[in-house]
Amino acid sequence: MKKSLTEWRALASKELRDRSLDELDWHTLEGLKIKPLYTKEDIDQLDHLDNLPGMEPFTRGPKATMYGGRPWTIRQYAGFSTAEESNAFYRKNLAAGQQGVSVAFDLATHRGYDSDHPRVEGDVGKAGVAIDSVEDMKILFNQIPLDQVSVSMTMNGAVIPTMACYIVAGEEQGVLQEALSGTIQNDILKEFMVRNTYIYPPEPSMRIVADIIEYTSDKMPKFNSISISGYHMQEAGANLVQELAYTLADGKEYVRTAIERGMDVDKFAGRLSFFFAIGMNFFMEAAKLRAARLLWHRIMESFDAKSSKSKMLRTHCQTSGVSLQEQDPYNNVVRTAYEAMSAVLGGTQSLHTNALDEAIALPTEFSARIARNTQLILQEETGVANVVDPLAGSYYVESLTSELADAAWNIIQEIDEMGGMTKAVASGIPKLRIEESAAKRQAMVDRGEEVIVGVNKYQLESQDEIDIRDIDDSAVRDTQISRLNDIKKNRNTKRCSDALKNLERVAKNGGNLLNAAVEAARERATVGEISMAMEKEFGRHRAEVKTLSGVYGAAYDGDDDFRRIQIEVDEFSKAEGRRPRMLVVKMGQDGHDRGAKVIATAFADIGFDVDVGPLFQTPEEAANDAVDNDVHIIGISSQAAGHKTLAPKLIEALKEKDAEEIIVICGGVIPQQDYKFLLEKGVKAIFGPGTNIPAAASEILKLIAQSR
């Protein structure tokens, strides 16, 4: 006999003794209250349940048959060292079952610098492949038929020269532009919020976005002109409601910009795509993708789009990099598998699965194979591809889909009231909210309120080193400089110069920038030269450094251990006559500043005086700041593997300024194999991923005291 809800509650109450169901409620980082039980009552009033997959508003999926008609595309986001090495990696993966190429570029390329530029000495070939010209791009896709293999390129700042080199490489492979398929990220608003690989100020950057949409809609009908990315927002600390809202608000701004340029919405909107992160909140991540389709349909109807394709959200997903841990790293295989299944149950169109070692370094062939096979097993062995939207009708998932959509819509409306996402980004409000969310989550992890297996619970007593991929950036840079010299020696100097001058005129007077850049790339103008031609007119953006205070410390209110560390800082201050002072720096072209910002706010709340250097500093500039600010300690935040080059140069720069007493420490993505090298060069301590911040603060305080 069926029990009523009232009877069930009575039974549960008896079984749980004195615990009420309300005590079992789970409050997420987003502020959503998740109940322990969902019933039909929770979805009775929802209005998105009546449509089938492939039917507007596409909540249940953009295609009627979904994976039964065509499985999601298996992609591996990869790029490292030289174009030759990356090409070999792509070809091997394509032969082993990968179905598309996703290119990661090094930070020098992202920021529009050629490999011989003095500001990129530690960045060349490190966090992606170095591309300086058409010749590099041709090598990158050697023996990869560009009329058959789709190419996804994560590029935003130097998007014009990158696209130009790709188009010309295709031409010289014999592939017409209209046959090229794939996606360029071209999502500059998110760069100003979180990832920071911008070049130009917001206004000309938005012009570039529109020029690419215009060019591709006219000449490249199979190519997606923009991939609107929430991935980097979640990686920077955004909660899922923020990721959903800000991503769709970015998309709304791009559509508005293209329409204002006179473009027909139904001519270009069908080639827009999205890119979301998939973290460890399994059901919420699946519900997020369903809510994204629902809301995008609503947004596109507000632009009076007529075509169903214009109103249909298509997305690529990537498993979370932040969820990967250096400690007990084989657990990362399990994390990635759960995240991959969540993306598939949410209805993604393509997927990249991270490798187990990406919390430490670039993936090896061994780890990349496991990551790729995770998708193959999911696609071929589990049966999840045989049923369309298998979570449909779930009381919990449907309710969660609606709650996420409503919460995100409130933020989107708030952004509209501010005048749109460009103005919101200029205000700095979305960035600060994301940083606040990151600080809150870090405090939850440090306190053990959010369990991470192997990090803050169930730790190993000892851990063996794992094999990692190590890139010799000096050797890569030498190779790239040699190729650059050959290109400049063999090209027609006058024709190249004329093409670059024409690009400058287009930047100043109007016209399509990508069209002019393609002409320059044909004449073998380099990525740096094409970028500089536009920079002469647009300038290079400099971000204002803003930090939070109070957010991290608020999570420790009343905590005895936290107060004990604050007392240690107070005692140091009394003895020294001032508080311990730290400079947090990001050197090279690494703009991923989540770690730096979290450290800055946490140490400030603990009681340190904290200065934060501007992004993209050289070691010499960081040393100047340290001396000028009279700091005790410099904390280098590293994520892009430039630490072996940049940290020793910083220490040498301090010596030249007779400031050897300033302690240098490192934190971030640093392999254990590099620790000995850094310590021998003078780094005093290294704090890897998963470090407990209050414990690190106590250790750093002792280092400062010992050095006095």
Q: Both tokens of residue 291?
A: 């809510």
Active site residue 113: no
Active-site residue, 231 included: yes
The one catalytic residue in 90, 215, 231, 552 is 231
Residue identified by tokens 């070999």 is: 88
Span 621-631, average pLDDT? 95
Beta carbons within 8 Å of 585's beta carbon, 6+ residues apart: 596, 613, 617, 622, 625, 634, 635, 636, 637, 650
Which of 78-92, 457-471, 477-491, 630-644 is predicted with the least confidence, judged by mean pLDDT?
A: 457-471
Catalytic residue at 570?
Answer: no
Does residue 77 have an active-site annotation? yes
Describe the strand order of the beta sheet including 182-184 as a list of residue ranges. 223-224, 182-184, 151-154, 100-104, 73-78, 350-352, 315-319, 272-278, 226-229
Query: Alpha-carbon distance 557 to 28, whole Å?
Result: 19
- For 104-115, the pLDDT digits (tens) are 899 999 999 999
Angstrom distances, CA of residue 418 to CA of 66, 257, 412, 424, 546? 38, 16, 10, 6, 20
From 77, 215, 396, 552, active-site residue = 77
What pLDDT was estimated at residue 335?
Answer: 98
**What CA–CA distance (Å, rounded) separates 321 from 235?**
7
Task: Tell me which of 48, 63, 138, 232 is the catalytic residue.
Answer: 232
Query: ∠425-429-433 over CA atoms, to 5°?
Result: 120
Q: What single letter denotes the amino acid at residue 318? A: Q
CB 189 within 8 A of CB 422: yes
Q: Round to whole Å and give the CA distance between 366 and 372.
A: 10
Phi, psi for residue 665 in degrees, rounded to 5: -125, 160
Average pLDDT over residues 420-433: 92
What crossing angle do the helices spanning 202-219 and 513-522 adopt, rounded to 10°?
A: 70
pLDDT value for 89: 86
Return the pLDDT at 102.
85
pLDDT at 390: 95
404 or 674, greater pLDDT:
404
Class of residue 371 by CB neighbours under 10 A (exposed 0-12, middle 13-18, buried 19+):
buried
Residue 635's SS3 state is strand
* Angle of CA points 126, 196, 320, to nearest 5°: 70
Tokens of 659: 């400031």
| The pLDDT of residue 667 is above 50 | yes
Confidence category of residue 4, pLDDT binned at 50, 70, 90: low
If one compares 26 and 142, the residue with the highest pLDDT of the two is 142
Looking only at the bridges linking them, the beta strands covering 350-352 and 272-278 are: unpaired
Strands 633-638 and 581-585 come out as parallel
Catalytic residue among 590, 605, 611, 674: 590
Q: Rounded to an integer, what distance in angstroms lies between the CA atom of residue 269 and that of residue 258?
A: 9
Between 484-488, 584-588, 635-639, the lowest mean confidence (pLDDT) is in 635-639
Q: How confident is the model at residue 17 (pLDDT cuts 50, 70, 90)?
A: very low
Q: Given its phi and psi angles, is residue 604 left (phi above 0), alpha (psi -120 to 50 degrees) or beta?
A: alpha
**Residue whose pair of structure tokens reads 């979805």 in the numeric block:** 43
Q: Residue 75's beta-bridge partner residues?
A: 100, 352
Using a pLDDT cut of 90, give the percent of the chain over it.
72
CA distance 363 to 368: 6
What is the H or E stretch that residue 102 is in? strand 100-104
* Average pLDDT along the chain: 91
∠68-73-79 over CA atoms, to 5°?
A: 170
Query: What's the whole-model pTM score?
Result: 0.89
Is position 316 annotated as part of the catalytic site? no
> Checking DSSP bridges between strand 581-585 and strand 609-612, what pairing results, if any?
parallel
In 222-281, where does DSSP find H-type helix?
231-235, 240-260, 265-268
- The Cα–Cα gap between 352 and 329 comes to 19
- Inter-residue contact 647 to 640 (CB < 8 Å): no
- Rounded mean pLDDT, 76-92: 82
Q: How confident is the model at residue 144 (pLDDT cuts 50, 70, 90)?
A: very high
Nearest CA to 270 among 214, 316, 308?
Answer: 308
Task: Kindly write down the DSSP assignment for every residue of 193-228, as one continuous string.
Answer: III----S-HHHHHHHHHHHHHHHHHH-TTEE-EEE
Confidence class of residue 18 from pLDDT cuts 50, 70 and 90?
very low
Pairing relation of β-strands 350-352 and 581-585? unpaired
Of 10-14, 386-390, 485-489, 529-533, the least confident:
10-14
pLDDT tens per residue, range 366-379: 998 999 999 999 99
Question: Is the pLDDT at 641 greater than 80, yes or no?
Answer: no
pLDDT for the residue 297: 97
The Cα 337–Cα 484 span in angstroms is 42
Per residue in 590-611, pLDDT tens? 888 888 899 999 999 999 999 9
